[in-house]
Structure 1
Amino acid sequence: MRFVIGHQSDRGLVRETNEDAFFVSDRCLAVADGMGGHRAGEVASKMAMDVLDALESMPSTDSGWRDLVVQINRTVLDAARLDRRYRGMGTTLTLAALVDVELVVVHVGDSRAYVASGGRIKQLTEDHSLVQTLVSAGTITEEEAMRHHSRNVITSAIGVEGDLRIDVVRTKVRPSDVVVVCTDGLSSLVTRKEILAMITEATRSAAPDDCPQVVADMLVSKALERGGYDNVTAIVGRVEP
């Protein structure tokens, strides 16, 4: 199977630069949301995507995917040690790859991956964030998390010293399923139900090959309409045989 892909990225209405980066191929969708001053976040996110771009083949095992993330983490850490301008830089990493009939999602940080199938949408990642810890404990709701003052505090990231949490999730997909990978500049302003509604609308109104780009444009436009407080990136892949 392969993806038909649409993508859109915008620096938003507040930030001076876009520290998001993304990588796409016919079998892989990935985003990275960089962090760090003096454009260091922009450097970290691009480094992560450059490692993916240089791959000759994708891993086939969960341990192989984790080893890849460890390699990316080491690349970012080494660069930060060599150049003081980049000290403290880091990035999230979320990718969705088609491996045979499965979708493999690899995740560090608070970017997200969703899959829409049969009129329903499912979030495939769990945010590595303080507010997600509160949601999981039942202290706050998902709606409250979107407005929480600590919503930008993440608990795991590429390039940060210490324990690195790497989630690897597998799920079956079928042709016509739609995968969305995005940074928190989107997910903090647009709900799951709204993402599904846009996919449904685009599926009805656009040609199949145009649908992913239409959805990506709609998603980013909605985030900007609601303030665009952060960089916002949406990668949309429709699964094809």
Structure 2
Amino acid sequence: MGLLAYGADGYGDELLDGALVTVQLAVFSYLLAAILGTLMAVLTLKPHGLRWMIGRVYASVATGIPSLLVIFLLYYGGTEIVHALLAPFGVEERPAIPPMAAAVAALTFVYTPYLADLLRSALQNVPKGQLEAAEVLSVPRRQIWLKVLLPQALRIAYPGFVNIWVVLLKDTALVSLAGLTDLIAAAKVASGSTREPFLFYGVVVVFFILFSAATIRLANRQSRRLDRGVRASEA
């Protein structure tokens, strides 16, 4: 019995729409976490000072709270949080927080410190001689970061970044509990209407397995290319 056996169109379209929402949520959250994680890694590279202390407190909070709880806090309490932040500036409006925005903000909040820790460790493993050589050659500080340090650090951290992507993708399933119509939510509606949960949840399982497998395969291919470039430069 196929997915289109129920109703005029069945639930195929709903599942496809839910899968698209899941992919969009994962991509947006990961990109934002990667950008903020890179910024956090650079700002907290030296293990001392106010920036490092603030980063440590944030990392402890973000990694110590379950992702689902963060999603609930931002989804149900996001309006009050935004209002509290804007009130000192004389803004009294209470803007509604869409489920997608709350979910992206929650996953970004949780995964930013993980990516920051990875990149910070990678930056610390870049040979110091390259930084010293660039400084001796009077290379501008910005160019040192963009063309010397960050490219090498990203290559070192690449496998860890891929692993965090896979974990974040699985965590997107939690947002269905906060009202976002993702793939899990679509499967739940379809299984409840047709009384065939195994069929529709099985489709969800296959989606996550195939998507994760494709991601890892592409990542491994890219990793081999990066390693070839390093071996070629060392030859």
- Would you call these one fold, judging by a TM-score over 0.5? no
Higher relative contact order (CA 8 A, sep 6+): 1
Which structure has greater strand proportion? 1
TM-score (norm 1): 0.29
